[in-house]
Structures are given as C-alpha cells and as structure tokens.
Amino acid sequence: MLAKTYYLSPFGCFEIKGSELGIQSVRLSDKQPCPAGPIPEELRECVVQLDLYFKQQLTEFDLKLDWGGHSEFNISVWQELVKIPYGHTTSYSAIAETLNNPKAVRAVGLANRNNPIAIIVPCHRVIAKSGDLQGYFYGLDMKRRLLELENPMSFARQGSLF
C-alpha cells in the first residue's frame, strides 16, 4: 500500500510517497499551508533524513528506493546520481560516458527531468559540461540554492564588500 506524507523544508513543502518497498517520490508541492499530520511508519525515516539534510547534518541518504515502473535507462541514470558526493557536481556528459553511451547526453538530461525522488536522488548536482547550471524541474534558482546549501564556498552568491 502506498503511503503519503508532507514535509515542510526551508525550500518549500515536499510530498513524499512510498511503501515498505522504499521511497517512490519526493516532489515539491504547491499546497499552502503544507499539510501536517501523522507520518506513516514507512516514511518516517525519510522525513528524519530530509530534515537532517536541510539542517546540513546529513551528507548521504540511507533509504530504500523504489523505482518500480520506470525504464532501465532512467534507473541506470538515477543509480549514477546517488553516487555523486554531497557538495560535488558532475556533468550530463560525464554520466552518459559512465553508462558507456557518450551520445546519450540529452537522454541523461531527460532522465534527470523525470527523476521522481528529488533531493535524495540528487539530480540538482548535475550541471552542464561548461560548468553552467542547466535544467532543473524546480527552476535554476532552486538548483543554485541546493548547491549553495551543500557547498557554500563554491556556489554561494557574491555579496557586496561595501
């Protein structure tokens, strides 16, 4: 049975779905206010780990993930995403090369766009080969903010000195 809960983060309200098989989705929700309520047992650890992540007290998620119903290619991309270390980035082309399919750069981008498990499967850590921020389903500002959270020295915006 699929369970659902909501988690209010500093980045907005996230809807979390999953079962005893694992987390199926973590998506930004437009519900206002963010619904409160009991957290189903199968989602409790996900909420705890997300909370620690946003407090910068967790750098690696340890959760069961349920990618059932998705294509083998997408799953192979998402499995590469979870290997990207906290505070680091990689490129779409580097992932395509890792998958022994260097021409699949656009397909890697599409798999990122279709990632159902935001934050935990860190598609925000994938940038263009040039180093530019590109394509994030919640917008480039959110992508930058997530990268700033993980690595403020590399991704923080420059403030005025005077």
Catalytic residues: 123
CA distances in angstroms from 104 to 113, 122, 155, listed in the order given: 14, 19, 27
Structure tokens at 5: 């809960």
Dig out the tokens for 108 from the structure: 């890697």
Please check whether residue 17 is in contact with residue 24, taking contact to mean a CB–CB distance below 8 angstroms. Answer: yes
Q: What is the DSSP string of 15-70?
A: EEEEETTEEEEEEEE--SSPP--PPPHHHHHHHHHHHHHHTT--SS----B--TTS
Answer yes or no: are the C-beta atoms of 70 and 105 closer than 8 Å. no
